[in-house]
Structure 1
Amino acid sequence: MEEKASSPLIPPPSEIDLEAGGGGEQLQCRICLETDGRDFIAPCKCKGTSKYVHRDCLDHWRAVKEGFAFSHCTTCKAPYYLRVHSHTDRKWRTLKFRFFVTRDILFIFALVQIIISALAYLVHFIDGCQQYWLRTAWAFDNEVSFYYICGALMFFALLGLSGCFITCYDRRVRNDLAQPCRELCLCCCQPGSWFSCLHRLIAPTCAVFQDVCGLPPTWHAVHVD
């Protein structure tokens, strides 16, 4: 009875017998085919040599097998009776996770504010050398708000430029972006091939619209000499 109470697979006792002992029968796991170990269960309606299985073997099988193997036996198709085990430290782990997420968000926010403040001070220093011409031209009364907005604009501009540089220097992204240009140049540079290239580029689009709108097929194959 103790093993039954601690099992994550608990069917009704009237339908399935989960007791692994009794009768002097030598138990064998139907997955690993091993007879050692005491953690045997009978989670489904299979009989004979396929009746018993190690709990760990079954958990691994349910995790890696596709289809309905997570909730049903793949042999007899009987459903598993699952029971969720809540950890004793679940509340503490949840609080710990929230603390780490909050810490990371606050750290990123503080880092962004420091960068924006540094850029705002840089704009203030440069504008001060020009007799505050920039703030006067925009007619801002609040000095702090004006330079903070300037720092934020510079931050997002630098962030966008950094993304552009990373995209340009990443070979995989660059090849994906340049592929349409290569196909267009190939079509334009080879004499007599522009019509076939146009057919290759437009035909898939026409097929999609025909399928969606229910239009009759009107695009026919073209022979190019």
Structure 2
Amino acid sequence: MVTAAELATLRGGDNIKSYRLVNSKFPPIALFDDVASADEFEILYAIQAMTNPRLQNEVGAINLIPHSEIPFGITGCSYATAPFTHVNPDGSRFGDGTFGMLYLADTMETAIAEVRHHQEAYWSKVHGLNYERFVFRGLACQFDEVGVLDATVLPLSHSIYAPGDYSASRALGREVKKAKAAGLRYHSVRSPGNTCWALTTPRHVASIIQSSHYEMVWNKQITSVNKLVSSA
């Protein structure tokens, strides 16, 4: 079992270009993008909370992330912050469902491979679903991996990369979170030879912008992934 203390900490200093897919049914959270500082957020959140009953659902569990870690003022602040306020209770490879992770990939193809696997695993459990299509936003992200721990020194055969057993990887994720490291750089399991990141904080994200839309076609399994061309 590897521990966080055994992994080297990356010095960073360069903006890493990375990619992400998010389901288009989840819109950006306007409140994060409407303010430039934590103080402005506190004021606007308090005002809107009195008049907007849907605000809590939109923003999510804001108590799960220190406001000082939210990168207010960047392009795409809501995309950077949403994974930490809308946490999947079922967990993820490095998250146990009690805290959020911002997952990024080195190429859009890697991001698609990762999301495709998890979509197939989820929808295959829905009885009677014979045909459907799901639309995703492609996001391009710039971030600094300073403070990120390097798990790419471990071979893909290591237990944290087990295809279906997340017990070792979640144990490492909890350690990384407890150590207040900025996240992990690791091998992509669904696209071998490529790299992913699981960030425990959005504070080093410089920008996240929307690129293209993609659709995944389900016909008892995901049969195709298509890049959608805008008609504009």
Q: Same fold (TM over 0.5)?
A: no
Q: Which has the larger radius of gyration?
A: 1
Whichever structure has more helix as a proportion of its residues is: 1
Greater relative contact order, per chain length (Cα 8 Å cut-off, separation 6+) = 2
Please classify the TM superposition score into its range, dividing by the shorter chain length: under 0.3
Structure-1-length-normalised TM-score: 0.19
Whichever structure has more strand as a proportion of its residues is: 2
